[in-house]
Amino acid sequence: MKLFSILMAAACALVVSACASTPAPTDERVHVMAEDVTASIQPGNIYISADAAKIFTFRDVESEINENGYLAVRVLGKTCELSALKWAFFGDIDYEFAYRFTWYDADGNQVSEPEAFRPRSTTPGNPVRFVGHAPTEECRNYAFELCMASEIPSVSDDAELADEKTIENEAAAEAEAATEAEAAQAEKEKIEEIIPELPEQNVAGDKKDVKVIGIPDKDAESVPKAVPAEKE
């Protein structure tokens, strides 16, 4: 049965088109990305990776200000149908996309950082739409990015990068603390060299060695005695 399916698929392959090449965009807003071009993204445009463009055809985009005053955008398209040969070998499959929006105000200024990529799964040959809602009321324009899910870092990759960053931060903090301790010790030794040591008896607080300057001893002869005033 499996052999029969393969033979039938081979026969149908001559008349069934397959998504084998990247189609040229027919809309000036659509740009096929040969590589990461996040730095050159402009508002009002749609950016599709080369791999995603092989299986996704852009149809239209709809945008409106909803009743709450926020911009809502829907990017519409259709996925490519599987060739009979691919279907015979792989059966029913899903296309796994990843997409995100970047939002701008009416003057073309970016309102916030680009969103994190969101996953979207769909079957071959079906219409698909990608919906985005602006985070603030000042958003009046957008840019849209679409790629295959396999083209963005996985959660495990992000976790490994975060762990490496944490280790680097901890090592840097330990090195900084050691440097500060060495500097404090050097400063302490420098101060000890400049300031002479006080006599031990004074440090101990011996009252016999402590004298108050400017106040004469009560028994000293220098203290003037009171003389009674002469009567008239």
Q: What is the pLDDT of residue 87?
A: 55
**Structural domain boundaries enclosing 56:** 19-152
Q: What is the pLDDT of residue 156?
A: 41
Q: Do both 169 and 124 map to the same domain?
A: no
Give the percent of the chain with pLDDT over 90: 38
CB atoms within 10 A of CB 165: 10
Q: Do both 135 and 50 map to the same domain?
A: yes
Q: Do both 125 and 167 map to the same domain?
A: no
Q: Which are the contacts of 199, defined by CB distance < 8 A and separation ≥ 6?
A: 209
Note whether residue 118 is domain-resident. yes
pLDDT tens per residue, range 124-156: 999 999 999 999 999 999 999 999 999 886 544
Q: What is the CATH number of the domain that holds 65?
A: 2.60.40.3230
Q: What is the pLDDT of residue 84?
A: 63
Question: What is the Cα–Cα distance from 140 to 105, expressed in whole angstroms?
Answer: 5
75-81 average pLDDT score = 93
Lowest mean pLDDT among 30-44, 135-149, 152-166: 152-166
Looking at 95, 127, 152, the residue that finishes a domain is 152
167-193 average pLDDT score = 73
Q: Do both 42 and 118 map to the same domain?
A: yes
Q: What is the pLDDT of residue 159?
A: 44
Q: What is the pLDDT of residue 155?
A: 43
Note whether residue 165 is domain-resident. yes
Strands 71-79 and 127-133, how do they pair?
antiparallel
Structural domains of the chain, count: 2
Give the percent of the chain with pLDDT over 70: 56
What are the Cα distances from residue 66, in Å, to 1, 21, 72, 137?
54, 38, 7, 10
Q: Do both 31 and 119 map to the same domain?
A: yes
Contact 16, 84 (CB under 8 A): yes
pLDDT tens per residue, range 48-64: 999 999 999 999 999 99
